[in-house]
Amino acid sequence: MKPRAPVACSAPARANLIGNPSDQYGGTTLACSVPLRAHVALEPAEGTRLATEGEEIEIEKEAELSLAGDLFDVARAVLASLPGPLPAARIAYRSEVPLGSGLGGSTALVVALLRALLAWRGEAAEPPHLLAERARDVERRFLGVTCGYVDQYLAVFGGCQYVDFRGKTPEGSLASEPFATVEAVPGPLPFVLAFTGRRHSSDSVHRPIRARWLADEPGVRDATARMAELGLAGKRALLERDWARLGRLMNENHARVRDLGGSGDANERLIAAALASSLTINPAADLRLTLATWNLEWMMLPSTFDTLADECDRSGRRQPGSVRAIPCDIVPDKRWSIEDLARIRQFVSRLPLDVVALQETDGPGVAAQLFPDHEFCFTKRRHVQNVGFAIRRGIPHRCNADYHELGLADSRVRWGADITLYPGTQREIRLLSVHLKSGCGRDPLNKPEPDCRILQEQVPVLERWIDKRAERRESFAVLGDFNRRFDVERRDEARDPYGRVLAMWPELDDGEPAESDLTNAGSEMKLIGCGNGQGMLAPIDHMIFSRWLARRLVPDSFRAWRYKGSLRWPDHCLLSVELEVESRHGV
């Protein structure tokens, strides 16, 4: 029997914009997750061990799960809430959330611990509403914290959410109350998040307000009811991108919290300084969309790699898309560890990535470890090398049918992943993520080599997708690993005298139909490097845009993001570019 595979989970902190603390009293709240997370990793051990911030203890029996007022109390509470024996595991956890900052750091840790321990026990992932309610139950019953519901729902759902807590009460329980209604709202939002540096306990804020609400103190229930109304009004202001109105509503919400005793001197000084400085955020930021492409180099979960490594393919032949196998020559060098995934996730969390075309990725399971605030559309080949998209939560999108034709006969090469952003609106954008055949990066495509012939065969298939979009006058882009240097191809030599495709870029960018007069973003970058040990190379990853969509490219926004440190990173650079999604006067 194989040893149990390690487990890694995380959950985000959150910032409440408006409506808080009406979530405890059947109100509404508008809140967003922030790029700070709590991380948990479990690995097999003899007995139950807890490790954090350089300290480690052993839990030998359930009686030792009583709270002790130390760094391990949150883990004790989560373990105490789960029935059955203690896990034979080392439970290591850490948090990027400043302690006592009011960003829901403890809740994020509770959610991450619950996810990790449930996965360790082999239990199916719980519905998100139930997981949020269970996390709140842990905080209220096992940690003894006075808390609402919004922190738990945001730590589970992530993104920007409008949450309706109708039917909830301060004394409600998991068994007695309805689930909240969660509605995603589009982000990102033009806000700066500031922290005073002063630590405080949310329990110390909420407990006295709750006691006054339960005592029906005059004005308290009226204040929480008004905050619920502000949450609803704030949702409309956000959807209409009326930042001035949203700001006024947020200021009113805070004034009511302050009047109830829920603020403090440090907080008020920070707010006064911000208002006095006339701090403004560029409103154009919300009208922009960051698109990216990234080949993640045999990206799969460590447990998947280990399972496939035991029966790896020694034939040296390319396996069709219907076969789930890896070649022996990548074992063990191409294995990504849990620590590697955590490092890449932290790298991603600091970048403004709205939509990312992904290649060499097994699918949503491993992608979610790297992009926890995104949703996914992936091709459905059984093969571990799929292509797809990570789309930031809150961005309307539709996963279209896989472009199987790009895989040629027997799906011997990779399909295309096809999505639509903002479907059914004037903003609508069609995107295709591709990973074309390798091995013919600069040779003429009519060269009598198998790799060149396969790539040559893929070019007209890709061109058909482009021309179909162009004929319909759609805004579109193709992003991904083309495995082709466009800089060595001559514009006047798309085909040879026999009509065979000779060069990819001139064939695709032929201007017929007119909308297929394409732009290759970043083409001025002759060499690209990103600190992954590959040096400076001519790009083979490209982002090509239709004529209309190219007009919306933000000048000088092309980026090759540099990796941090000397540890292992993907062998391709992460490339991004910004689009003006709409102007102030519409699309």
Q: Are 331 and 312 spatial neighbours (Cβ–Cβ below 8 Å)?
A: yes
Domain annotation covers residue 585 = no
267 and 324 fall within a common domain: no
Q: Is there a single domain that holds both residue 388 and residue 456?
A: yes
Which segments in the chain show pLDDT lower than 50?
1, 278-286, 583-587
For residues 381 and 322, the answer to whether their CB atoms sit within 8 Å is yes
- Total Cβ atoms within 10 A of residue 467: 17
| Residue 150 is assigned to a structural domain of this protein | yes
Q: What is the CATH number of the domain that holds 274?
A: 3.30.230.120
- Look-up of token digits 């919300």: 286
Residue 451: burial class (beta carbons within 10 Å; 0-12, 13-18, 19+): middle
Based on the domain organization, do 210 and 238 belong to the same domain?
yes
Q: Is the peptide bond before 218 cis (omega within 30 degrees of 0)?
A: no
CB 416 within 8 A of CB 434: yes
Query: Which pLDDT belongs to residue 288?
Result: 81
End-to-end CA distance of the chain: 59
Please report whether residue 236 resides in a domain.
yes
Cα–Cα distances in Å, from 372 out to 39, 266, 376, 429? Answer: 12, 32, 10, 23
Amino acid type, 57:
I
Residue reference for tokens 């076969």? 323
Cis peptide before 21, with omega less than 30 degrees from 0?
yes
Asked if 218 and 354 sit in the same domain, the reply is no
The answer as to whether 575 is a domain residue is: yes
Tell whether 356 and 479 lie within a shared domain: yes
Handedness of CA 286, 288, 289, 293 (dihedral sign): negative
Angle at 337 between CA 336 and CA 342, to 5 degrees: 100
Tell me whether residue 188 is in a domain. yes
Q: Is 255 domain-assigned?
A: yes
CB 533 within 8 Å of CB 474: no
Asked if residue 340 and residue 276 are part of one domain, the reply reads no
Structural domain total, the chain: 2
Same domain, yes or no: 299 and 365: yes
Q: What's the pLDDT at 280?
A: 47
Report CA torsion sign: 500, 478, 537, 385.
negative
Last residue of a domain, one of 281, 314, 340: 281
**One domain, residues 506 and 457:** yes
Same domain, 572 and 430: yes
Domain for residue 586, yes or no? Answer: no
Same domain, 256 and 391: no
User: Helix 220-239 vs helix 243-259: angle between axes, to the nearest 10 degrees?
Assistant: 160
Final residue before a domain boundary, out of 249, 281, 313:
281
Nearest to 346 by CA among 364, 379, 317, 370: 370
Domain membership of residue 487 as a residue range? 285-580
**Do residue 129 and residue 185 come from a single domain?**
yes
Q: Are residues 276 and 289 in the same domain?
A: no
As beta bridge partners, residue 479 has 433, 543
3-state secondary structure of 414: coil
Strand partners, 39: 10, 94
Q: Which CATH number do you get for residue 460?
A: 3.60.10.10
- CA dist 319 and 533 (Å) reads 29
pLDDT for the residue 131 = 95
Cα–chain-centroid distance for residue 99?
24
At which of 253, 281, 309 does a domain end?
281
Angle at 429 between CA 510 and CA 34, to 5 degrees: 130
Q: Is residue 2 part of a domain?
A: no
Burial 540-578, CB ≥16 within 10 A → b, else e = bbbbbbbbebbebbeeebbbbbebeeeebbbebbbbbbb
